[in-house]
Amino acid sequence: MSLTDKLFERNGRDAMRAIEVGEDHSISVIAVAVPTPAPGEVIVSPVCCGICGTDLHIVRHGFPGTRYPVIPGHEFAGHVTAVGSDVRDIKEGDFVAVDPNGTCGTCRWCKAGRPNLCLNLFPLGVARPGAFADFVAVPARNAYRVPESIGHSVAALIEPLACVLNAVAASGGVKDRTVLVMGAGTMGLLLAVVCRKLEAASVTVCDPAVGKHAVARKAGIENVAMPDGLGSSLFEVVFEAAGVAPALVAGVGRLDATGTLVQVGVHNEEDRVGLPPFLIYEKELRIVGSNSLADKFPAAVEFMPDIRDEASALVTDTYSAWDFAAAVDNMAKGASVKTLLTFPGPSR
């Protein structure tokens, strides 16, 4: 019996295992009470959960809005094990993917149809307990039934896909336009895959990490280059999905007249970059931000079956949930694209 199983046994049947990140950024496997569903909530037993940059920020430096100690995990799918008193559309046993962004529904941004800008956001895995646990409580309206046949790991990629669809919407659309994606991580490669599906005139990905090029090709992206290997090419749409200053500066320089750069990468709050105002004026460029998934989760549920194989090609590493610390160490090497945690299921 493993250490975590012993911990679980010792705490009885009302306890579950969870990964906790402390204020001091320590990672531990803890035993906590199994959540019970409040009205309007369901309890989900995750089967698969992605680790992303947000989780790494929570572990390493802190992420705005994090309430420590926190159980991270926000890119997940699983089975519903209990439903709150007034939940009608979801039942026990359903397989669901979860939009982790709890919103208030009443602030000016929620009322304006911009839920990602909600003034009272309470994202799962950041401001309330997330999915790196045997069970997680979820607002029922955030749980979307998906066919389990889509695959557990693909279902866990619906959340990042929804962020990608929001970024594509921010670009003004990619059909028949030339696209450059800076960064071949999960976000960049999902963006590239989606842009191909949406019939962009061409899709090019650039990344200095040559190991990522092979993953890009596996996902069907043929034009993959080093950042200094693009010659004099200009593009109508550039997605900055690297999250580093040089990529943003280079990306603006790659825009053709009237082109749009979508800022997807999350930089440090204190970062500043030098941009060429003359070019922005002369070429009538647009630079727009894309923050999280807004209202795109249902669209991502619908879109995922179309890119199922390409999405699964992005999963390079899989760990058992209780080996989260080892997964984080491995991600630090910079070679993985998507790392997923799988759950053995509660031992009851």
Ligand X SMILES: NC(=O)c1ccc[n+]([C@@H]2O[C@H](COP(=O)([O-])OP(=O)(O)OC[C@H]3O[C@@H](n4cnc5c(N)ncnc54)[C@H](O)[C@@H]3O)[C@@H](O)[C@H]2O)c1
Size of the site for Zn ion (CB under 5 A): 8
Find the angle CA(292)-CA(41)-CA(324) to the nearest 5 degrees: 55
Report the run of H or E that residue 181 belongs to, with start and end.
strand 178-182
Minimum CB–partner distance for residue 165 and ligand X (Å): 10
Query: What count of other Cβ atoms lies within 10 Å of the Cβ of residue 267?
Result: 16
- Contacting Zn ion within 51-80 (CB under 5 A): 52, 54, 75
Count of residues that bind ligand X according to CB under 6 A: 29
Tell me the helices (H) and strands (E) count for the chain, helix number first: 12, 17
Those residues with Cβ within 8 angstroms of residue 82's Cβ, 6 or more apart along the chain or in another chain: 36, 37, 42, 43, 92
Q: Are 342 and 321 in contact (CB under 8 A)?
A: yes
208 binds ligand X (CB under 6 A): yes
Q: Report, in Å, the least distance between residue 60 CB and ligand X.
A: 12
* 242 is a site residue for ligand X (CB under 6 A): yes
Residues 137 and 70: their CA atoms lie apart, in Å, by 14
CB 79 within 8 A of CB 94: yes
One-letter amino acid at 336 equals S
**Run of H or E residues at 319:** strand 315-320
The residue of the chain with the least Cβ separation from ligand X equals 185
From Zn ion, ligand X, none, interface partner of 107 (C-beta below 5 to 8 A by class): Zn ion
Tell whether residue 66 is a contact of ligand X (CB under 6 A). Answer: no
132, 188, 259, 307: residue in contact with ligand X (rule CB under 6 A): 188
Q: By CB under 5 A, is residue 179 in contact with Zn ion? A: no
Segment 278 to 317, residues that bind ligand X, using CB under 6 A: 290-292
Query: Would you tell me how many other CB atoms lie within 10 Å of the CB of residue 86?
Result: 10
x-marked contacts with Zn ion along 99-118 as a string, rule CB under 5 A: ----xx--x--x-------x
Q: Does 182 bind ligand X (CB under 6 A)?
A: yes
Residue 266 touching ligand X (CB under 6 A):
yes
Residue 207 interacts with which of Zn ion, ligand X, none, CB < 5 to 8 Å by class: ligand X
User: Which of Zn ion, ligand X, none is residue 118 near (CB under 5 to 8 Å by kind)?
Assistant: Zn ion
Bridge partners for 175 per DSSP: 200
Q: Where does this chain bind ligand X (CB under 6 A)?
A: 52-53, 160, 163, 182-188, 206-209, 212, 227, 241-244, 246-247, 264-266, 290-292
